[in-house]
Amino acid sequence: MAKKLKKEELELMSYNDIAHMLLKEKPKQMTLDLFNTIVEMLELPKKTVENKIGEFYTALTNDKRFILLEDGHWDLQQNHKVKNLSAEEDLEDFEEDQEDYDDEEAVEKEDEMFDNEENDDDISDITEEYKNLVIVDEEELNQD
């Protein structure tokens, strides 16, 4: 369809609109391949690819009709289902996860953490080590 259009008709279209038509005909194309096809269709100089490929990539990225796939290919968003979770579904999932969590087990782990005698010994050692320290004000230091 896109290749059947006259050059004059294509010139009135944006690169994104042409890319949209091309991806309808042949889904999943790389940025460079897609842009090379557009440049050929519009009979633009080859330098256009080097000079405008970045702009083309940015335009595709900002256009919600397109999606960049994990493998680096572009495709039309309409060809891919996007899972849209509502806040209600998120809350239901969270509540299910909470039900699965064993509260008694969590309390036991907390108790173990606080009952650990080594922790108490460490704190008493530190306290003993610093008990003879004196806090001195700056003015007292300057008087010496």
pLDDT in tens, 107-142: 666 666 666 555 555 666 777 777 777 777 777 777
Q: Residue 25 phi/psi, 5° resolution?
A: -75, -45
Kindly give the interhelix angle for 31-41 and 47-62, rounded to the nearest 10 degrees: 120
d(CA 108, CA 27) in angstroms, rounded, equals 56
Contact 67, 74 (CB under 8 A): yes
78 CB-near residues (< 8 Å, 6+ apart): 65
Please report, for residues 63, 135, 136, 137, the alpha-carbon distance to residue 140 in angstroms, rounded to integers and kept in the order given. 69, 10, 7, 5
Please indicate whether residue 71 or residue 105 has the higher confidence score (pLDDT).
Answer: 71
Please report, for residues 28, 83, 90, 95, 97, the alpha-carbon distance to residue 87 in angstroms, rounded to integers and kept in the order given. 32, 13, 5, 12, 15
* CATH class belonging to 1-144: mainly alpha
Give the pLDDT confidence of 82-97 residue by residue, as tens digits.
665 566 666 676 666 6
